[in-house]
């Protein structure tokens, strides 16, 4: 999103942004720019198998936006809306393993859905 789009989303005029909130960082996630991510670790195939009850067994890199290292406090804003598989988006889904990485986001989201589906049917 552009700076103007972010201001509109937050309900502030661009002039207010410059005058009142110049010291506040407002950033896009940039999940599609590998240089803006850091890897925190890796969930091993054994760990994903245990977590998923055997539904998945593969190494999953755990990456997060590198800006997390620049701040003591982060406020993550995003939509919360009905989701066809997990109930609602957002919340704890905001921080999930591998979600910011294009290559693994589909498998991570798919496995998270599988975990929840499995748990809800037990």
One domain, residues 80 and 101: yes
pLDDT, tens only, 79-96 = 777 766 556 666 665 655
pLDDT of 19 > 90? The answer is yes
| CA dist 78 → 59, 75, 118 (Å) | 28, 10, 27
Q: Which domain holds residue 73?
A: 33-121
How many distinct structural domains can be found in the chain?
2
Higher-confidence residue of 10 and 111: namely: 10
One domain, residues 5 and 57: no
**pTM for this structure?**
0.55
Predicted local distance difference test score (pLDDT) of residue 109: 45
Average pLDDT, stretch 100-116? 43
CB neighbourhood size of 7 (10 A): 19
Sign of CA dihedral 4, 6, 10, 14: negative
pLDDT of 20 > 90? The answer is yes
Measure the CA–CA gap between 37 and 101, rounded to whole angstroms.
8
């Amino acid at each position: 999103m552009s700076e103007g789009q972010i201001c509109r989303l937050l309900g502030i005029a661009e002039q207010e942004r410059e005058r009142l909130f110049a010291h506040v960082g407002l950033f896009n996630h940039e999940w599609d720019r590998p240089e803006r991510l850091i890897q925190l670790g890796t969930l091993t195939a054994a760990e994903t198998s245990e977590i998923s009850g055997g539904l998945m067994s593969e190494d999953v890199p755990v990456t997060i936006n590198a800006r997390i290292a620049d701040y003591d406090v982060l406020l993550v804003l995003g939509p919360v809306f009905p989701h066809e598989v997990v109930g609602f988006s957002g919340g704890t889904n905001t921080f999930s393993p591998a979600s910011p990485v294009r290559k693994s986001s589909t498998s991570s989201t798919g496995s998270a859905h599988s975990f929840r589906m499995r748990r809800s049917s037990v």
